A and B are shown apart, each in its own frame.
Chain A
Amino acid sequence: MQNFAGKIVESDAYKKIKKILFGMNEKDGLLLKILVYILLIGIGYVFLYPILRMVVESFKSLDDILNPLVNWIPTQLYLDNYSKANDVLNFFPTLLETLYVTVLPSIAQTAVAAVVGYGLARFTFPGKKIVFALALMTFIIPPQVTLIPKYIFFSDLNLLGSLNAFTLPAISGQGLNSAIFILIFYQFFRMVPKSLEEAAQLDGAGHFRIFFTIAIPMAVPAFIISFLFSFVWYWNETYLASLYFGNELTTLPLSLQQFVATYTQMFATGAEADVNKINEGIRMAGTLLSILPLLVVYFLTQKWFVEGVDRSGITGE
């Protein structure tokens, strides 16, 4: 009898533990939750590792770098690397130029992608399928294929060294990854209910008014996503930039590309060449400085960005 009662208690406790560990109905079990967090933290660490290392290295003095005992925590707050990197990158003037080279093409690209995406999503016209197929094709064409003729073309028109080499393709839907943005807007505008458009038409609204008053407000997340991606991609673009802009315009990533050469020219010449030799710390400080504005923009806008993704999830119902 006693034995029997014990069995009941045991099985109750067993069920309870099972419920906590493996979950019931709606709630996830504890084990699953722990697994999820372990995975997220583990993968997160791997993702962040290079950035964490970069930050740590950038604060290390030469002694710290050479000392194998100093791994994650530098012995002192050493800022000399940054002042040197700042000089080498010519930080603030270069930053302004980078923004100039990045923001304008991004705005042009986003605006045009919205217009073209709307045209593809809401209208039928002869040749639409061809336009669509060609637009997608532009995405898979490696820039190298069209680069040489474009270079010759821009040089003939005297556009090399000016921002027009970036904005002109952007404003005609041929900028960096324009096809993606057209596709994003196409998807967004396709989700606008036909009934809404018809109701507006009955009220006497024309196509352009519908585009501005109904379609655009419904695609705000698409605008944010498009602008953000364009901004980042134009910022990080170095090959086209170096070819088109030559010595006229420079960007932070381009300065980073020349970092070692510029450093050697500035600091490591003459009698003190060996003493002032470039080291990991200075290079990592330069790398971090060159991406710092991007990080700031990202951390300021990511909330918006995440919200945009969330909201697009709700509108997709």
Chain B
Amino acid sequence: MKKLSKLSTKNSLIGLLFVSPWIIGFLIFTAFPLFYSLFLSFQKVKITTGGIQTTFTSFENYRYAFGVDVVFVDYIFQYLEQLLVSVPIIIVISIIIALLLNKKVRFRGFFRTIFFLPVIISSGPVIKELIDQGVTTIPALSQIESVLSQSGDGFIIGLLLYLIDNLIVILWFSGVQILIFLAALQKMDPQIYEAAKVDGASTWESFWKITLPSLVPMIIVNVVYTIVNLSVFSLNTVIGHIQSNMFKVDTGFGYASALAWIYFLIITVVLAIVVGAMTLKRRKKHAY
């Protein structure tokens, strides 16, 4: 018994040894900067030749963000709307593409190459150049768009217009998700499907009863990935706003830190709500 506990102590020390580079890095490059920027967000920061000067301003930066800085609140709502549209589309499309690729199709490798290609090349400057040159909208779709925009401006139509305008860019954010779903699909045991077939389940039923439930963990992973990916993409307006405030004389590092923290908290709340809802649903299912 004593020997066993000694062994487990040794084991946990070795485990810690493996993880130690991360722990050190986390303290230096994440934990400390995180608290320091929280500290800065309550300060007025001035950069002088002698270094950085801070004066405590309490919640002034935060009050400014919600009271004076109208653009910021606008950007936040735009960002949330974009998430609401893009995330479900990206998840559904990538599941569909993964299912298509998982079939015995010819040129599977070719198609996979195409669907993953955008992940390789979509940096901020490249996407910006493509949007600037107007090559990210398909002409046929813009015709539908002009018909739609004449037929009024309800919420749904606004949503559709946003979709058509940004369809390709939205799709371009689904490469990784397709890959993750595809990997999960390929890991599935074909025997389960055979067994289901023997029991008389159709392909349609197999999808809803077997495929989708076993994809749920991957869906959660992909939802989180998509939200974070969209949130930190360099063309995101909120991030652009934070960046531009960083080097402004009247706002500076302090205000930019406050904005970054507000943004961080909003992302966290969104993630908590989405993941919470999805895992709750899953737990309920398991209770039966």
B-binding residues in A (CB < 8 A): 25, 28, 36-37, 39-40, 43-44, 46-51, 53-54, 57, 112, 115-116, 118-120, 122-126, 128, 131, 134-135, 138-150, 152-153, 168-169, 171-174, 180, 182, 207, 211, 232, 235-239, 253-254, 256-257, 259, 280, 283-284, 286-287, 290-291, 294-295, 298-299, 302-303, 306, 309-310, 312-313, 316-317
Contact = CB atoms under 8 A, between A and B. Distances in A.
Given A207-B14, A295-B121, A119 B239 contact: no
Contacts of A238: 123-125, 234
B186 A310 contact: yes
Given A47-B168, A119-B15, A236 B123 contact: yes
A152 B98 CA distance: 44
Nearest to A237: B123
B24 interface: yes
6 contacts: A44-B114, A119-B19, A131-B23, A171-B25, A172-B28, A257-B124
B109 A306 contact: yes
Contact of B14 (A123, A141, A259, A317): A123
Given A47-B114, A294-B120, A173 B126 contact: no
Closest 5 CB pairs of A and B: A172-B25, A123-B15, A119-B18, A313-B186, A236-B123
B114 to A, nearest CB: 5
Interface in B106-133: 109, 111-126, 129-130, 132-133
Contacts of B242: 144
A54 B132 CA distance: 12
Contacts of A235: 123
A131 B126 contact: no
Interface string B154-179: 00000000000001100110000001
Contact of B16 (A119, A139, A312): A119
Contacts of B172: 47
B87 interface: no
Given A40-B100, A124-B11, A140-B268, A152 B111 contact: no
Where chain B touches its partner, the secondary structure class is helix
- Interface bin, chain B: 35 or more
A148 B120 contact: no
Given A46-B168, A173-B21, A283-B129, A239 B13 contact: no
B120 A44 contact: no
A309 B179 contact: yes
Nearest to B232: A142
Given A36-B100, A47-B117, A236-B122, A142 B264 contact: yes
B10 to A, nearest CB: 9
B279 interface: no
Contact of B271 (A140, A147, A180): A140
A145 B186 contact: no
Given A174-B30, A253-B123, A143 B100 contact: no
A306 B271 CA distance: 30
Contacts of B182: 309
A169 B29 contact: yes
A49 to B, nearest CB: 6
B84 to A, nearest CB: 18
Given A115-B21, A123-B14, A139-B228, 5 more contacts: A142-B232, A172-B22, A235-B123, A259-B129, A291-B121
Interface stretch (B66-74, B144-152, B205-213, B254-262): B254-262
A168 to B, nearest CB: 7
A123 B253 contact: no
Contacts of A112: 21-22
Given A39-B100, A131-B19, A54 B135 contact: yes
B13 to A, nearest CB: 7
B22 A131 contact: yes
Contacts of A57: 133, 135
A317 B189 contact: yes
Contact of B26 (A49, A125, A138, A139): A138
A306 to B, nearest CB: 6
Contacts of B259: 144
Contact of A146 (B17, B34, B105): B34
- The listed residue with most B CB atoms (<10 A of its CB), out of A25, A118, A138, A317, is A138
Contact of A48 (B29, B114, B126): B114
B285 interface: no
A6 to B, nearest CB: 32
Contacts of B52: 152
B187 interface: yes
Contact of B103 (A28, A169, A180): A28
B263 interface: yes
A172 B232 contact: no
Contacts of A126: 12
Contacts of A169: 25, 29
Given A169-B25, A236-B122, A298-B120, A120 B19 contact: yes
Contact of A144 (B97, B104, B260): B260
A169 B30 CA distance: 9
Nearest to A311: B186
B95 interface: no
Given A238-B124, A312-B183, A140 B267 contact: yes
Contacts of A125: 11-13, 15-16, 19
Nearest to B23: A131
Contacts of A280: 133
